[in-house]
Amino acid sequence: MAERTEQYSDQMRDVSGVYSIYRIVLPLVLLVSSLSPDSTLLGEYDSDLFLHVWTLYAIFGIFIAFFVSSNSNILGSQHVIAGFLIVDILALTLIIFTSGGIASGPGLLMIVSIAASSILIRGRMSTFLAAVATLSVIYCEIYLSLTIENRPNQFVQAGILGILLFATSLYVQTVTTRAFNTALLADQQAREIIDLEKLNNEIIQRMRTGIVLVSSTNEIASVNSAARVILMVLNDIDFASLETLTLPDAIAEQIKLWKLNPKRDPQPIPFPGSSKQIQLNFAFLREDANSDILIFLEDNRQIIQRVRQSKLASLGRLTASIAHEVRNPLGAISHASQLLRESESMTDDDRRMVEIILKHCERVNMIIEDVLDASKSDDSTPRKILLKSWMSNFIEGYRATHEVCSQPKITRIISSLFGGFVINIT
């Protein structure tokens, strides 16, 4: 077999071992049967040849039993196994011959050999062995009919035995194939379960939330890395294995109160030597009062951090909404200022005031654009820019939003922003 699971290989070794014992016991049973006074068929035609065949077959069986036991890899060679089984078929054919034909009964023993071959060797080789057995029986009957005068015709019995041999081969092959496929499927499912268990363990071990599995008597059954660190600090120890790790009294007391009232929120446990607290959560592993209990240990600072992040996200959405609301009146102011600037009756002072209004409208609009860009999810997407043109726009924006200052002062500011590098904009 090109492929087989370890379980299926063990089954093959078991079948081979049983058949090796059968190969040793069979000659002894045939000898005892031939010596029995009630038996007149075994070895009747040629008793000397029967004795020789019996002796050689017994020696062959003992040799194969020791050879297979000392060379376990022999099951991997189909040709070697097929050679052994052909010897079995020829030995049984000679026993049939020495007993006077198929009517003596030993021919039925070939069914056992063909069934064993269909288990140990699947496919065409097993069918080939069934054909060899059938042809050997038919040839034996032909030879006996030609050498013995007035012998009853036994070709019908030989044909029926051949049909039984082929039927046994095909049936056992079908059953063996199903068993082999079942073994492969079971092996695949076992590997998937093992991989899934490893994945779950890796996920649990890498979780920041501490997870502890305790029995109904508060004995720790399993713990992940985060929970181990927390329990070691609560127990004031530097190192502890799963066998020596114990559940702190504070957590055991919270479990006792939680069992009395599962809807009750457990009280946080203070962390020794620190201002942080450990938030507890409990859950039954099964729907049973005596079930194991899952304990979730979480640093309350992480909870506070998540709350703050949620608040910041809400604040960002609120800021974006306010920016949208501010943009509408700002657009109206800018549009009205543009209409005033086009008036012919305006004085120069009024026109200068309108320009100031439009300039500051643009500044406020830039601020709104920055707020809206900051609230977008793709703001951190990197992109290439032309540094010279971007720096020119930056300087213009800086001058528009700050007091007018000299070029050297702006150069010093930009140089400080870029880590001391002097950038020539002109």
0.75 cut: is pTM over it?
no
Give the confidence band of 1 by pLDDT, cuts at 50, 70, 90. very low
Q: What are phi and psi of 384, to 5 degrees?
A: -85, 140
Residue with the larger pLDDT of the pair 31 and 109: 109
Give the domain 208-299 fold.
Answer: Beta-Lactamase (3.30.450)
Q: Which range has the worst mean pLDDT, 47-61, 287-301, 404-418?
A: 404-418
> 């097929």: which residue's tokens?
82
**pLDDT digits 0-9 by tens, 24-65:** 888 777 777 766 666 556 767 777 887 888 788 888 888 877
What local confidence, expressed as pLDDT, does residue 39 receive? 55
Write phi, then psi, for 250 (nearest 5 degrees).
-65, -40
The residue extents of the domains of the chain are 6-193, 208-299, 388-426
Per-residue DSSP letters for 1-59? Answer: -----HHHHHHHHHHHHHHHHHHHHHHHHHHHHHHSTT--STTSS-HHHHHHHHHHHHH
Task: Name the packing angle between helices 6-35 and 155-206 (round to 10°).
Answer: 150
Q: Which of 12-26, 33-47, 251-265 has the highest mean pLDDT?
A: 251-265
Lowest mean pLDDT segment, chosen from 57-71, 188-202, 292-306, 389-403: 389-403
When the pLDDT of each residue in the chain is averaged and rounded to a whole number, the result is 77
Q: What is the mean pLDDT of residues 153-172?
A: 87
**Which letter does DSSP use for residue 267 in this model?**
P
Which residues contact residue 355 at a Cβ distance below 8 angstroms, ignoring those fewer than 6 apart? 341
| The predicted structure's pLDDT at residue 406 | 56
